[in-house]
A and B are shown apart, each in its own frame.
Chain A
């Protein structure tokens, strides 16, 4: 079953990817790489199913969808840098043990890149 939420996202994704591929002069898209934070609310399997539907009859119809689930990253005021939090619910800095308060990554939902094939050159052209 295709979830409504992911279908909406998949339609956005196809639209963005198609525009980017055409702008780059590509004829066909082989792969689409997406990054979802663990707090983006996206269920990868649902996005995959929705993408398969949304991509029909487009230059993405045959493309594989690769979903990279990005970790939570928070800013640690003591270490003065971003740190990766090991799991949801554990908000203390893994380096120094202090509580972190500022989430820096984890909610993102992004089309990272495409793998494309260019249009074949006209036959007869050397």
Chain B
């Protein structure tokens, strides 16, 4: 007679992203130990992350900050080449089709850099509003860009990413008039997915709102130093 087997339950309770979370936690403690402020920049493709970084790296270096950047893309070295013109150390991460950066990418691409000799590290994530939200990179802060050309309701369509952010940057604000950008609708959408989310509005092209952005970076970097 064939014995009758009855199903049983095996309790697991493990996060699907636990491996990434572990690497991210290790990175975070290295960053903290080195006094390094790390900003993870996320947005849809074409929201202006690279131009924002280009100017930011140039200006911060001029002001005496030691800055570096990792830049993620599915393919090509184009963004790294653009950013390297600022004079800052820059490394390109090619994900070969993967839609987001993972903590392991960051860990590998930091090899050989002395973190203690940097003040600020920018990580430009792959342009994507879905996948990037679930992967912790060990960053100190996550900034999400929303360009005025994209539509004010983006936060409502992609709540997971906008909820995970520590700062919203409304970019390309020089085009707000042309695009009939509805500022109050955008702010309401942001508040709906993340009440109290600090928000800056700027144009990396014209410099509108630029001082507040640099002040934010400086303030967050100093807060890290004093904690």
Inter-chain contact B16/A89, CB cutoff 8 Å = no
Contact between chains at B193 and A114 (CB < 8 Å): no
Q: A5-B100, A39-B160, A41-B133 are in contact. Are A12 and B19 (CB under 8 A)?
A: yes
The dominant DSSP class at the B interface is mixed
A88 lies within 8 A of chain B by Cβ: yes
Within 8 A of A (CB), among B107-166: 130-131, 133-134, 156, 159-161, 163-164
- For residue A26, CB closer than 8 A to chain B, the reply is yes
Q: Given A116-B8, A117-B7, A120-B3, are A101 and B160 neighbors across the interface (CB < 8 Å)?
A: no
The answer on a CB contact under 8 Å between A4 and B159 is no
CB distance from B216 to the nearest CB of A (A): 20
| Residues 1 to 58 of chain A near chain B (Cβ within 8 Å) | 4-5, 8-9, 12-13, 16-17, 20-21, 24, 26, 30, 34, 39-42
Q: Is A41 a contact of B130 with CB atoms below 8 Å?
A: yes
Are the CB atoms of B193 and A118 closer together than 8 Å? no
Instruction: Say whether A112 faces chain B, with CB atoms less than 8 Å apart.
Output: yes
CB of A68 closer than 8 Å to a CB of B? no
Range, interface on chain A: 35 or more
Does B98 contact A8, Cβ atoms closer than 8 Å?
yes
| Residues from chain B with Cβ under 8 Å of A39 in the complex | 159-160, 163-164
Given A5-B100, A111-B12, CB of A12 within 8 Å of CB of B17: yes
**Which residues from A are CB-within-8-Å of B14?**
16, 20, 110-111
Task: Count residues of B near A (Cβ-Cβ below 8 Å).
Answer: 34
Cβ-defined contact, B193 with A12, below 8 A: no
Are B195's CB and A99's CB within 8 A? Answer: yes
- On whether the beta carbons of B15 and A103 are closer than 8 Å, the reply is no
**In terms of DSSP, what is the predominant structure of the interface of chain A?**
mixed
Find the A residue at minimum CB distance from B4. Answer: A120
* A95 at interface, CB cutoff 8 A: no
CA distance A103 to B197 in the complex (A): 13
Which chain B positions have C-beta within 8 A of A8? 98, 131
Binary flags per residue of A96-122, CB closer than 8 Å to B gives 1, else 0: 000101010001111111111110110
Cβ of B55 to closest chain A Cβ, rounded Å: 30
The distance in angstroms between the C-alpha atoms of A40 and B134, with both chains bound, is 7
**Is the C-beta of B11 less than 8 angstroms from some C-beta in chain A?**
yes
Residues in A neighbouring B133, C-beta threshold 8 A:
41
| CB closest residue in chain A, given B134 | A41
Q: How far is the CB of B215 from chain A (nearest CB, A)?
A: 24
With A117-B7, A120-B5 in contact, do A107 and B164 touch (Cβ < 8 Å)?
A: yes
Contact pattern, A 68-108, Cβ under 8 Å of B = 1, otherwise 0 = 00000000000000000000110100000001010100011
Shortest distance from the beta carbon of A38 to any chain B beta carbon, whole Å = 8
Point out the residue from B12, B16, B131, B134 that lies within 8 Å of A113, measured CB to CB: B12
3 nearest A-B residue pairs (beta carbon): A41-B160, A89-B192, A5-B131
Q: List 11 A-B contacts (CB under 8 A).
A: A5-B130, A8-B98, A9-B16, A41-B131, A41-B160, A103-B163, A109-B16, A111-B14, A112-B12, A114-B12, A120-B2
